[in-house]
Amino acid sequence: MMNCTRSFMSTAPDGGQLLSLLLKLVNAKKTIEVGVFTGYSVLLTALSIPDDGKIVAIDTDRKAYEIGLPFIRKANVEHKIDFVESQALPILDKLLDDKDNEGSFDFAFVDADRANLMNYHERLMRLVRVGGVIVYDNTLWGGTVVVSDPSLIHPLRKQELPHVIESNKLLAEDPQVDIFQGAIGDGMTVCRRIY
């Protein structure tokens, strides 16, 4: 993983610990991950859910996922993971085409493109059950959400920043969820669906 030039994109270790704890607290069995990268968070999820649990793991980059696949296999949890190489929105829409999927997921983790966060949220709110949890990663975006001078923001962060700020605002105003945003990793927002 250290040889992967984009290793900074992985879920932070403290974020992984939080995910594992949340999965256990809600007794998650059926989960969705939007944005998988090398599979670190998928591995944590697979280790935290029961042996008959299932993960729908969606990412556009199978090669990145395959970097972590040997670790998933060594942990003997590959049978829990349904990796789908695709953009996420079409897969979420396909899941919603089957009415039996509505409210059937216990947990969702989103670590994907910031421009679609609210599109993901809208769909995941239909897929995750009442009392279930949706976690968004990178919601503090390197601390840039509070930087008053835009010239101080790295160009790679600047492009996605408006999407992160808008998503944070909309999540905070969504009456369907209780939320917590913490300085864990690059910022994590935990949403518990209340209706």
Q: What residues pair up with 81 in beta bridges, in sequence order?
A: 55
Residue pointed to by tokens 């039996």: 100
151's tokens: 């010239």
Judging by DSSP bridges, how do beta strands 105-110 and 30-34 pair with one another? parallel
- Tokens encoding 36: 């998988």
The SS3 assignment for 108 reads strand
Using alpha carbons, select from 118, 110, 143 the residue that is nearest to residue 19.
110
- The reply to whether 118 falls in a domain is yes
Quote the pLDDT of residue 9: 61
Q: Is 2 inside a domain boundary?
A: no
Looking at residue 8, its pLDDT comes to 52
12 in a structural domain: yes
Q: How far apart are CA 38 and CA 65, in angstroms?
A: 4
Structural domains in the chain (count): 1
The residue type at 183: A
Contact 88, 58 (CB under 8 A): yes
The CATH number of whichever domain residue 17 belongs to comes to 3.40.50.150
Q: What is the pLDDT of residue 148?
A: 82
In a domain, 153, yes or no: yes
- pLDDT, residue 156, reads 80
User: Is the pTM value of this prediction over 0.75?
Assistant: yes
Residue range of the domain that includes 100: 7-193
Asked whether residue 1 is domain-assigned, the answer is no
CA 106 to CA 91: how far, in whole Å? Answer: 17
Q: Where are the beta strands (DSSP E) in the chain?
A: 30-34, 54-59, 81-85, 105-110, 128-137, 177-182, 188-193
Kindly give the pairing relationship between strand 105-110 and strand 128-137. Answer: parallel
On whether residue 15 sits in a domain, the answer given is yes
Report the pLDDT value the prediction gives residue 28, as an integer from 0 to 100.
99
Q: State the chain's maximal CA–CA distance in angstroms.
A: 50
Residue by residue, pLDDT tens for the chain (195 residues) are 445 555 456 788 899 999 999 999 999 999 999 999 999 999 999 999 999 999 999 999 999 999 999 999 999 999 999 999 999 999 999 999 999 999 999 999 999 998 999 999 999 999 999 999 999 999 999 888 888 888 887 888 888 898 999 999 999 999 999 999 999 999 999 999 999
